[in-house]
């Protein structure tokens, strides 16, 4: 099967904006209905236009529902990663506070030792 079909008309939302592309490393993706769409190569600064090769409105709806489902999955992953990173930040902050306290304690002990050492030398 040839997955490099020519792009069809853009799928647009009711406000006539082009819908965002689905992430794909190859530029061509398959939905559960077997339809495909292509993402034309664009630079990051230009943004991307999502083009559907499906002409049947029902297939478009299914395609969009699959897109929404994938975006929800991606969002859940991002939220979990964010929560994990937030927990790591909190752990690092606690470690930082502990290390600062240990550093201050070590500096105070070094000052006391230095004072004792020089007092001992001065007595001799």
* Number of domains the chain contains: 1
Considering the domain boundaries, does residue 38 fall inside one?
A: no
* CB neighbour burial string for 44-72, b if at least 16 within 10 angstroms, e if fewer: eeeebbbbbbbeeeebbebbbebbeeeee
Q: What is the pLDDT of residues 28-63, one digit of tens each?
A: 444 444 444 445 444 444 455 566 676 789 999 999
Considering the domain boundaries, does residue 71 fall inside one?
A: yes
Distances (CA, A) of 2 to 30, 52, 67, 84: 12, 16, 22, 41
DSSP string across 70-124? HHHHHHHHHHHHHHHHHHHHHHHHHHHHHHHHHHHHHHHHHHHHHHHHHHHHHH-
Q: What is the pLDDT of residues 88-108, one digit of tens each?
A: 999 999 999 999 999 999 999
Considering the domain boundaries, does residue 25 fall inside one?
A: no
Considering the domain boundaries, does residue 103 fall inside one?
A: yes
Structural domain boundaries, residue 89: 56-123
The pLDDT value recorded for residue 30 is 46
Considering the domain boundaries, does residue 30 fall inside one?
A: no
């Amino acid at each position: 099967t040839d997955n490099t079909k020519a792009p069809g008309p853009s799928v647009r939302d009711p406000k006539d904006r082009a819908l965002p592309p689905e992430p794909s490393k190859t530029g061509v993706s398959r939905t559960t209905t077997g339809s495909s769409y292509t993402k034309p190569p664009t630079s990051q600064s230009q943004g991307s236009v999502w083009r559907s090769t499906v002409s049947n409105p029902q297939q478009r709806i299914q395609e969009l529902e699959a897109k929404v489902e994938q975006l929800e999955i991606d969002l859940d992953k991002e939220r979990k990663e964010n929560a994990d990173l937030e927990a790591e930040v909190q752990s690092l902050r606690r470690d930082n506070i502990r290390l600062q306290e240990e550093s201050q304690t070590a500096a105070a002990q070094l000052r006391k030792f230095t004072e004792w050492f020089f007092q001992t030398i001065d007595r001799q």
